[in-house]
Amino acid sequence: MIVNTSNVFNFNTDTSGIMIIFGGTGDLTHRKLMPALYNLQCAQKLPANFAVVAVGRRYRSHEDYRYEVYASIKNFARFDMQEKTWHELRRKIYYQQFNFTDDSGYTRLADFLKQIDEQYQTWGNRIFYLAVAPEYFGVIVEKLQAHGMVHNGAGWQRVMIEKPFGRDLYSAQQLNQKITGVFAEKNIYRIDHYLGKEMMQNIMVIRFANMLLEPLWNNQFIDNIQLTSCEKVGVKDRGEYYEQAGALLDMVQNHMLQLLTLTAMEPPASLDTEDVRNEKVKVLSALQEFSPELVQKNVVRGQYGPGKAQGKPVSGYRQEERVSPDSNTETFIALKVHVENFRWAGVPFYIRTGKRMPYKSTQIIVQFKPLPKILYARLNGQMHPNLLVIKIQPQEGVFIQFNAKKPGTESQIAPAQMDFCQNCTDGLNSPEAYERLLFDALRGDSTLFTRWDEVEHSWRFVDTIAANWKQQDSTFPNYPAGSLGPREAEELVARDDRKWLHIK
């Protein structure tokens, strides 16, 4: 694709700094971070005074490393490779090899940073990106401090941390203690890459910039809200990670609760970082507490067995690579929860996420209450509920369903649908989530990153569910690959006289 900068976010870039990527030879760096930096370079969103230092364990010269990055950018960047743009970025990329536990490596890194700090005039400004397994988060920040790379008397130093932030509330608290012992909260950028997605940011605009919607956004007019994120794929080669996580930790603790908070939050006093975050936290703290009985009743877990994907037979989760043959890990979860505040009392939020489903789709579906059936009582069967759908991915857009007269001499009502697709037109090429997140971190805007109390509340919520599951045997596998999840998930909504909705 030809670079079209007019569609790319447009902010000032008068920041300078060095980005140090721990895990520079890893999958995340090659598939997401380097392509995102290249995209930013294409859009002229990188500061002029900027350099990247990647740290990995295997030996690479600067040139070897740049060569590998070139291939990754060619494969994964949304903009075509342009040699001139690549050349501008290429000369700012460096590689350092050492083991994360090795002090001498940090000494060398500190010297190297001083050297390129002068060369690029980056004033001591540094972002340390931890694209590494969570067990290294603590050791790396402690060694950065011990080797004088944080609080070096000049500029700013920030840390970006990949998910998962802990495995439960306790481990998250332990990790947070280590990190806040080195970095102040305002310099900690905890990533939930969903927040970098274009339509996630659009939720607030759609809600708070439309008179058509905001007055109706409450329990007087809304019947229920469904938050769904389905994936077609299985665990692929991530079996080892997924065995530890499951759908609850991998999706609900972070992405699904982010969807929920943005959908349910009150309008913030301003768009300042802390005002927005405060409102999100209020939603999390108003979540209905799950008793063991409620977990039994309102939470369904599932695991895919053998089935079909795109017409071809595929194996079940227990047969996947690096997965235990009697694994108890859930690959699907559906739940009903209430936000217990004035705006939402009585409105159920149904959350559903799973792997090996028939389609890939993340959507927020708002179903409005029906109108009194007086005028069109005779045509009852034909009146459909009003729906507002915010499509997050892969399609990005907004869909509205309303009732209209069917053309013709008879008085018939038919649902009419308006479908705004943001990413269907070539040229409306949304920035990738990581582009936005790297850019924001460079300019010191942490609005799209999670604050500690958000993380803490969300762990409290999922820990209750996890603790309850530990007491109960599962009946896995309980849905075939390629289906919409276990029967109990359908029953969860059918009990309330509702059904799961999906808008193509």
Residues that bind ligand NAP (CB under 6 A): 23-28, 31, 56-58, 99-100, 131-134, 162-163
Closest to 320 (Cα-Cα) out of 332, 302, 304? 304
- For the CB of residue 136, give the shortest distance to ligand NAP in the complex, in Å: 6
Amino acid at 447: T
Integer Cα distance of 331 and 363 in angstroms: 19
Integer Cα distance of 227 and 213 in angstroms: 18
Helices 83-90 and 62-76, interaxial angle, to 10°? 140
- For the CB of residue 243, give the shortest distance to ligand NAP in the complex, in Å: 13
- For the CB of residue 481, give the shortest distance to ligand NAP in the complex, in Å: 22
Tokens linked to 162: 């990949």
* Beta-carbon count within 10 A of 200 CB: 25
Please say if 255 is a catalytic residue: yes
By C-beta, is 69 or 206 nearer to ligand NAP? 69
By C-beta, is 23 or 431 nearer to ligand NAP? 23
Tokens linked to 164: 């998962």
By C-beta, is 393 or 483 nearer to ligand NAP? 393
**Contact present, 127 and 19 (Cβ < 8 Å):** yes
By C-beta, is 32 or 451 nearer to ligand NAP? 32
C-alpha angle 379-385-388 in degrees, rounded to nearest 5:
150
β-sheet bridge partners, residue 441: none
Catalytic, out of 255, 384, 457, 502: 255
* Beta-carbon count within 10 A of 108 CB: 15
By C-beta, is 132 or 455 nearer to ligand NAP? 132
Nearby residues of 465 by Cβ (< 8 Å), 6 or more positions away = 248, 290, 295, 299, 335
Q: What number of residues does the chain have? A: 504
By C-beta, is 57 or 343 nearer to ligand NAP? 57
β-sheet bridge partners, residue 189: 160
- For the CB of residue 241, give the shortest distance to ligand NAP in the complex, in Å: 6
DSSP structural state of residue 288: P
- CA neighbours within 13 Å on the CB side: how many for 26? 18
- For the CB of residue 30, give the shortest distance to ligand NAP in the complex, in Å: 8
Tokens linked to 128: 């340390």
By C-beta, is 56 or 431 nearer to ligand NAP? 56
By C-beta, is 110 or 204 nearer to ligand NAP? 110
By C-beta, is 100 or 469 nearer to ligand NAP? 100
Integer Cα distance of 371 and 386 in angstroms: 10
- For the CB of residue 416, give the shortest distance to ligand NAP in the complex, in Å: 40
By C-beta, is 58 or 297 nearer to ligand NAP? 58
3-class secondary structure per residue, 3-32: CCHHHCCCCCCCCCEEEEEECCCCHHHHHH
Closest to 350 (Cα-Cα) out of 194, 239, 501? 501
- For the CB of residue 198, give the shortest distance to ligand NAP in the complex, in Å: 18
Integer Cα distance of 468 and 464 in angstroms: 6
- For the CB of residue 104, give the shortest distance to ligand NAP in the complex, in Å: 13
Nearby residues of 159 by Cβ (< 8 Å), 6 or more positions away = 127, 128, 129, 130, 141, 179, 182, 183, 187, 188, 189
Dihedral over alpha carbons 499, 502, 503, 504 (to 10 degrees): -150
What is the number of the residue whose Cβ is closest to ligand NAP? 26
Task: Measure CA of the first residue to CA of the last residue in the chain; give whole Å.
Answer: 26
Tokens linked to 409: 């001499």
- For the CB of residue 254, give the shortest distance to ligand NAP in the complex, in Å: 10
- For the CB of residue 411, give the shortest distance to ligand NAP in the complex, in Å: 54
Integer Cα distance of 439 and 324 in angstroms: 40
Closest to 486 (Cα-Cα) out of 381, 309, 336, 357? 357
**Residues forming the active site:** 255
